[in-house]
Amino acid sequence: MRSNRLASAAVAAVAITVPITVVTSPVLSGTAQAATLSGQQKATAASAPTRVLKKVTAIPVTWNMVAAALAKRLVGDPYLYGGTSPAGFDCSGLTQFVYLHAGHGKVIDRTAEEQFLQFKMISHAAARPGDLVFFHETSDPSSYVYHVGVYEGGEDMVAATTYGEGVQLQSFAWAGDTVTFGTITH
């Protein structure tokens, strides 16, 4: 019974990211126990190999990460001009759907141009997965925005493309310097 409680305590200690020392005891047939290294346990520690478990650090899940993951799950859905649902998306309908349905939804405007005007422009280096990628008519960032996608990192985005191709994970590198990035979360 005591070794079960010690094993549970060791698991709890790892779960709360506190490093512990584990002593392997030949008496317990190779099972591990948490040790404070006092009293009788010092003798066991001197004769048994020890190892320190690394700290387990949970990665915080951000709203942007949830949005990027949702966009990826929509890859393969059909394209539909004016579409705003998994039955069919256009580019800004996709981004609007993702933002509304990710975590505690965010309401954004309907068209690519309106979304661009609603978002804070940021550099590619500052962009995080879940932000938006905007496509301009020219390299002038104040030129008309005709296309938008959900940034996935590097040079990748998820976007509703055209009939027959639907929602795809694709590179935006082909657009060169006509691309800008926008956020409403950071």
> What is the CATH classification number for the domain harbouring 150?
3.90.1720.10
Q: What is the mean pLDDT of residues 47-53?
A: 66
pLDDT tens string 81-119 = 999 999 999 999 999 999 999 999 999 999 999 999 999
Please check whether residues 100 and 159 belong to one and the same domain. yes
Please check whether residues 82 and 33 belong to one and the same domain. no
Helix-, strand-, coil-residue percentages of the chain, each rounded to 5: 30, 25, 40
**pLDDT score for 74:** 98
**pLDDT score for 25:** 39
Give the count of domains, the chain. 2
**Could you tell me the residue range of the domain that residue 11 belongs to?**
2-52
Kind of pairing between the strands at 21-24 and 32-34 = antiparallel
**DSSP secondary structure letter of residue 154:** T
User: Does the residue 145 lie in any domain?
Assistant: yes
Please check whether residues 47 and 72 belong to one and the same domain. no
Please check whether residues 74 and 8 belong to one and the same domain. no
Angle between helices 63-73 and 91-101 (to 10 degrees): 130
Please check whether residues 17 and 81 belong to one and the same domain. no
Q: What is the mean pLDDT of residues 126-130?
A: 98
